[in-house]
């Protein structure tokens, strides 16, 4: 199932992993392009057509929006324990994201020059919440709450309809709890296209956030520029750094928790102990038979699971920074000793009692994280993703006069005479 790498084989396997690119099948791209173009040209009619084709749900345009009755029915369908856990998650996630609000600043320089930076929330955001093989109320919270904290004016949520044209009640209740008033029962790349271009029933948004399958990701890639997007999310991944005192049982469970997402998910262990590595292999084989999505997890482990045994934690950190994992668990003791050396990771989980699942649901930090090594250059979804920055410049006439010669120098070098004239014309008399 999983191979253990040691010695020179470790560096060879790391190079193999880091050289992989996010592969988009050309045939899938063509299929998505056809759907995106159709929705752009034909609006609701195309959305309805593809919803029937892919989700098996026939609906009219005025049936796409979730009604208040459906929300009320959803509350009746979920139990009190879920609602309590949901409210706890909302509280924690909101509290964490409220700390991210950046201050605006302005300053006055000589000659009464004003410079500054403003924060302006995005007007309208589209949130995609996946359906299909699993339900994700946690995705509702993680995508909507930072937008709310950023004071986005309007949020439009899209999610695939299930059997009978209904959405999962847990997802609807989550949306209601965070104040989403416009929920559309549409999924797939047709939903992304509808949000990007607008239809008769679905408003055009300024930015689209939220994870999805390969078709959704391709659609987001295609409409980027027409709208903003959060990121191109690949399959989930986890990397665990462990020493000789780490619990093999915990490690196996945490690797499987990410492997169950998708057959293309990645689970990697870097250990300083060969006995721990071998014990983890045994635990994976034992535990994988006990989980509901064992077929998916097994496919993931067979394809992308691996264990590296290295001589010391310094080497473990070096490999981790090269792989730039979405989720990084540090189980070596004490974990804080390695934290300042970690440069590339979406989220870091410290110690044996901080499994990724805590961050997935309740801790507060966002679980929409950079995947496929993109933690080298990108960050978790945050309030900042829903705020535009505006730079402010205010010059007085004396201030402009003091730099007009330098403006002319730059304009002459760049061959842009009208640039210089736009400043000089103010002093022609």
170, 261, 327, 367: the catalytic one is 327
327 is catalytic: yes
Collapse the DSSP code of 381 into the 3-class scheme (helix H, G, I; strand E, B; otherwise coil) and give the result. Answer: coil
Please give the helix or strand (H or E) that residue 327 lies within, else none.
strand 327-330
DSSP per residue over 191-257, as a string? HHHHHHH--SSS---SEEE----HHHHHHHHHHBTTBEES------EEEEEE-TTS-HHHHHHHHHH
| Beta bridge partners of residue 390, listed in sequence order | 118
Q: How far is CA 337 from CA 273, 314, 330, 342, 348, in A?
A: 18, 11, 10, 10, 13
| Cβ neighbourhood burial of 97 (10 Å; 0-12, 13-18, 19+) | buried
Residue 201: C-alpha distances to residues 122, 131, 167, 205, 312 (Å): 21, 21, 18, 13, 58
Opening angle at CA 121, ends 118 and 123, nearest 5: 135
Contact between residue 37 and residue 45 where contact means Cβ atoms under 8 Å apart: no
Q: Which of 279, 283, 326, 329 is catalytic?
A: 326
DSSP class per residue in 72-129: HHHHHHS-HHHHHHHHHHHHHHHHHHHTTPPPPEEEEEGGGEEEEEEEEE-SEEEEE-
Residues forming the active site: 326-327
């Amino acid at each position: 199932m999983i191979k253990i790498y040691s010695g020179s084989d470790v560096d060879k396997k790391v190079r193999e992993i880091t050289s992989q690119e996010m592969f988009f099948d050309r045939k899938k791209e063509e299929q998505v392009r056809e759907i995106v173009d159709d929705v752009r040209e034909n609006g609701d009619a195309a959305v309805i057509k593809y919803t029937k084709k892919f989700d098996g749900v026939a609906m009219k345009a005025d049936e796409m929006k979730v009604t208040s009755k459906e929300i009320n029915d959803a509350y009746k369908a979920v139990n009190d324990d879920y609602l309590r856990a949901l409210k706890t998650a909302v509280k924690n996630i909101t509290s964490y994201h409220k700390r991210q609000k950046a201050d605006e600043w302005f300053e006055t320089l000589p000659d009464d020059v004003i410079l500054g930076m403003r924060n302006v929330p995005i007007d309208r955001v589209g949130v995609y919440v996946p359906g299909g093989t699993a339900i994700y109320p946690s995705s509702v919270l993680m995508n909507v709450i930072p937008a709310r904290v950023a004071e986005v004016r309007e949020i439009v949520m899209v999610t695939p309809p299930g059997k009978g044209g209904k959405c999962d009640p847990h997802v609807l209740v989550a949306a209601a709890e965070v104040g989403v008033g416009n929920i559309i029962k549409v999924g797939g790349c047709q939903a992304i296209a509808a949000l990007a271009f607008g239809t008769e029933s679905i408003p055009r948004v300024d930015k689209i956030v939220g994870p999805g399958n390969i078709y959704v990701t391709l659609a987001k890639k295609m409409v980027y520029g027409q709208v903003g997007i959060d990121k191109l999310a690949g399959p989930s991944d986890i990397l665990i750094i462990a020493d000789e005192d780490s619990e093999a049982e915990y490690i196996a469970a945490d690797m499987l928790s990410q492997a169950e997402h998708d057959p293309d998910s990645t689970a990697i262990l870097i250990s300083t102990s060969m006995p721990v590595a071998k014990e983890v292999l045994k635990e994976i084989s034992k535990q994988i038979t006990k989980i509901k999505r064992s077929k998916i997890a097994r496919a993931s482990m067979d394809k992308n699971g691996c264990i590296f045994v290295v001589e010391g934690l310094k080497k473990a950190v070096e490999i981790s920074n090269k792989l730039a994992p979405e989720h990084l668990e540090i189980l070596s003791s004490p974990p804080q000793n390695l934290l300042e050396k970690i440069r590339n990771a979406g989220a870091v989980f410290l110690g044996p009692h901080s499994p990724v699942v805590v961050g997935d649901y309740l801790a507060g930090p966002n679980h929409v994280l950079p995947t496929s090594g993109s933690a080298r250059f990108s960050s978790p979804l945050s309030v900042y993703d829903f705020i535009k920055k505006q730079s402010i410049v205010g010059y007085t006439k004396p201030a402009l006069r003091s730099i007009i010669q330098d403006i002319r120098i730059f304009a002459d070098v760049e061959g842009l005479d009208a640039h210089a004239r736009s400043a000089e014309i103010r002093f022609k008399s």
